[in-house]
Amino acid sequence: MTVHIESKKEDIADIVLMPGDPLRAKYIAEKFLTNYKLVNKVRNMLGYTGYYKGKLVTIFASGMGIPSIGIYSYELYKFYDVKKIIRIGTSGSFNKNVNVLDVVLSSGAFCNTYFPKLLDNKNINYIESSETLNNTIKEIATTKNIPLKVGKTITSDVFDLYASSMEEFKSNFPDDNFLAAEMEAFGLFYIAKKFKKEASCLMTVVDSFYDKKSLTSEERERSLDQMITLALDAIIM
């Protein structure tokens, strides 16, 4: 038990899927796991542990932003001996080659943040995800015929659609080669490196500066389910 997690150590698997939304964690447990149980409800940051294809998996929500995912990933890696975390979520994009409903795998995240400085007195603004875990995700995506866009991504402290302008938003980053923008991956990757653990991030693009496609609820659910099963199949390998 920690300040933010009430689970017993044996109630947390050593492999974790981490959506941002607690209700998405609940949805994943109910739809994809068997013999699952609720293992955390502190601050309504829901966590569930159950079986997927015979392997014990924990689904644990992270909340939004680096501070939130930083707390939960830190405690899971350090105090619960978690080995691998795959963040799954939605993202925006300002890359012309990325469309709505594309699935993006982050090879590394860039962020203008004081997080490493405050935590470890380090000045870092780009950190890579786990190459080993990424390779597993790519292999399984190939077998499932799921096209992946793989590359650098942005972690922002501001929801991109609320930025004063897209040009102003983009001006904070070193180049235009970033595939997607979200708010948590940098924090997760940093904590994973700190504890010599593995972390990856899969995102379904749901809004784009260039692709203005409007999604139905059915399209959104189907695309997210595809990403979720890809992450589950990868995390148990």
Residue 102 known to be catalytic = no
CA atoms within 13 A on the CB side of 187: 28
The SS3 of residue 33 is: coil
Give me the count of residues in the chain.
Answer: 237
**C-alpha distances out from residue 60 to 9, 15, 45, 69, 180, Å:** 14, 10, 8, 10, 23
Given 102, 160, 207, 233, which residue is catalytic?
207
How far apart are alpha carbons 121 and 35 in whole angstroms?
Answer: 43
Beta-carbon contacts of 14 under 8 Å, excluding residues fewer than 6 positions away, are 81, 82, 83, 84
Is 177 exposed, middle or buried (CB count within 10 Å of its CB: 0-12, 13-18, 19+)?
A: exposed
Contact 64, 108 (CB under 8 A): no
Contact 178, 95 (CB under 8 A): yes
Contact 101, 223 (CB under 8 A): yes
> Looking at the annotation, which residues are catalytic?
207
